[in-house]
Amino acid sequence: MTAADGEQARWLRRALDYEPRDAALFAAALTHRSAAGPNNERLEFLGDAVLNLVIADLLYRSFPRATEGDLSRLRARVVSREPLAEVAAELRLGEVLQLGSGELKSGGFRRQSILADALEALCGALFLDGGLAAAAVVITRFLGPRIAALPDPASLKDAKTRLQEYLQARSLTRPHYQVERVEGEAHEQTFRVSCEVAALGRRVHGGGSSRRRAEQEAAARMLRAIGADAAADRQP
């Protein structure tokens, strides 16, 4: 066992409370492709699937009334690049990550993509080393607090989704969005969009750097105009 392997094994015990069986497996998980030797790309592929399964199971159990869409939005709040990189930083994973000289000089041990990928690779190594049950225990240990702190699923829905659900619940027709004009140069455009709910006699406008953003802004303004968000907050 090399000095790096020993340091990684100690980190696994300290940070993850896990005793590795196959040190080489975790050495690969903690080695970026810029460094020599086996790297973590294949383990990252496997770990992504393991992580998504474990988190999906935890969310399914934690939010029994959440819809499929709600669960997908919640999962994205836990397993997307930014939160995974934050967890990796909290675990000080970068300190035991093996990087090539170029990545070391450029601060790769702090880069979100590298940290998130390494954490996924660790999940793959945990699965191969101890099985799904052992991997689930460790994953729950470092991501459980994030799941416990998740907001109400309804609050994660975007404005267009909330507006459509509000109208559908009242048997009203869907909102109609229309691009009124596009301003600015091709590389820096601003879209002006209208949102109309004919059944309510309401029409508002929104703007954004893309059609999608402009529609979201218009939908948010429509929700405020008709008091939909406030009405939803009052529901039991």
Q: Is 184 helix (H, G, I), strand (E, B) or coil?
A: coil
Instruction: Clarify whether 17 is annotated catalytic.
Output: no
Q: How far apart are CA 182 and CA 10, in angstroms?
A: 58
Phi-psi region of 43 (alpha: psi -120 to 50; beta: other; left: phi over 0): alpha
Q: Which helix (H) or strand (E) holds 213?
A: helix 211-226
- Catalytic-labelled residue, pool 48, 103, 117, 217: 48
CA angle 22, 27, 29 (to 5 degrees): 100
Instruction: Clarify whether 82 is annotated catalytic.
Output: no
Phi and psi, residue 92, nearest 5°: 60, 40
Contact 50, 137 (CB under 8 A): no
Q: How far apart are CA 43 and CA 51, in angstroms?
A: 12
- Catalytic-labelled residue, pool 103, 120, 215, 217: 120
User: Quick one: tokens of 35?
Assistant: 């460094």
Sole residue written with tokens 């954004």: 208
Q: How far apart are CA 189 and CA 211, in angstroms?
A: 10
Q: Which are the catalytic amino acids?
A: 48, 120
